[in-house]
Chain A
């Protein structure tokens, strides 16, 4: 901070409140998007634990499934699903800001970039679903 002198006038330096993000919905939404990464990490850890249980054998996997069915894990996973979808949707909607594609000298509209991200999401999800369902037959 510069101290006032004959040539530097005195000024008031406002402090940013710890709760700055509660002032506007846009800021709160940003913080929610940041927090969503915790739930994304939780889903990743759960999936890794699931793979480990699968490898350990049927008894271990049945125990893991029973743990998944406990009320607090169900609630946590429901909240996580909301945040993971929120994370994905906000991310895809922001993608056109970073990706600039020019075709015929013109920049592709933001909607086209976002749509291609959503299309890739659907394709990857459908492929995973197909692999999983194929395994159940």
Chain B
């Protein structure tokens, strides 16, 4: 049968395997099928033990990130026809420990995300009955960075994170910048203390691949470089105006 495509999927079962290995499956090549459909076909019809994360099927939840032919992609947004004639190499997201098959351990990312304090920090809260108004321009300033779905494709594309696991990483910094740019937020100084360290923004060598693989066009590389500019200005201010840099 010609309308079929081969998927070479990385497998790892911690109870038996010392290291991962590849297993090949042949699935129908349908023009409306994405990689996730092919993986679900394998799980339903060929091998029920294949393990992978997924949820929304529509590029919103950020669960199904994996390396497809070496490039980090959302399995629900990558059509099989894009990868034809195959074989298609499907691997877990690079730079993360593999727990089982295509499932990676994301605890490190979750810790880094919390360190970046991605929420609105206020020095003084307004009373509940009052609103925080924003102009369209103020929303536009951070909107792009707010589109992040925490899919971690940027971490899989970032060689700096692969080489130095202490690096805060693209998404955490982009989300910190999302709140720094928000006119309602007053926590930029707190975040700066954490992210202006070497393992924060200065760890980034501007490879730029995080931005290329981002399915939501967040541009984490841009966020980090803009953060570097802000950090440098703040440092200069603290030299010139040691008492009044705030």
Contact = CB atoms under 8 A, between A and B. Distances in A.
Interface of A: 4, 9-14, 16, 20-21, 23-24, 26-27, 30, 34, 94, 97-100, 102, 105-107
A97 B221 contact: yes
A16 B163 contact: yes
The 3 closest A-B pairs by CB, nearest first: A98-B225, A11-B97, A10-B14
A107 B141 CA distance: 9
Given A97-B222, A98-B229, A12 B97 contact: yes
Contacts of A10: 14-15
Interface string B100-113: 10000100000000
A12 B98 contact: yes
Nearest to A4: B14
B73 interface: no
Given A97-B221, A98-B226, A16 B212 contact: no
Given A30-B208, A98-B222, 6 more contacts: A11-B105, A12-B20, A13-B97, A16-B159, A24-B71, A105-B140
A11 B92 CA distance: 12
B192 to A, nearest CB: 17
Given A16-B162, A100-B226, A27 B12 contact: no
A14 B94 contact: yes
B137 interface: yes
Contact of B208 (A14, A94, A99, A107): A94
B228 A9 contact: no
Contacts of A23: 70
B207 interface: yes
A21 to B, nearest CB: 7
B236 interface: no
A8 B98 CA distance: 13
Contacts of B163: 16, 20
A14 B98 contact: yes
Given A12-B12, A98-B222, A20 B162 contact: yes
Contact of B137 (A13, A16, A105): A105
A98 B228 contact: yes
Given A16-B163, A34-B205, A94-B208, A11 B229 contact: no
Nearest to A95: B225
Given A24-B70, A94-B208, A98-B222, A12 B228 contact: no
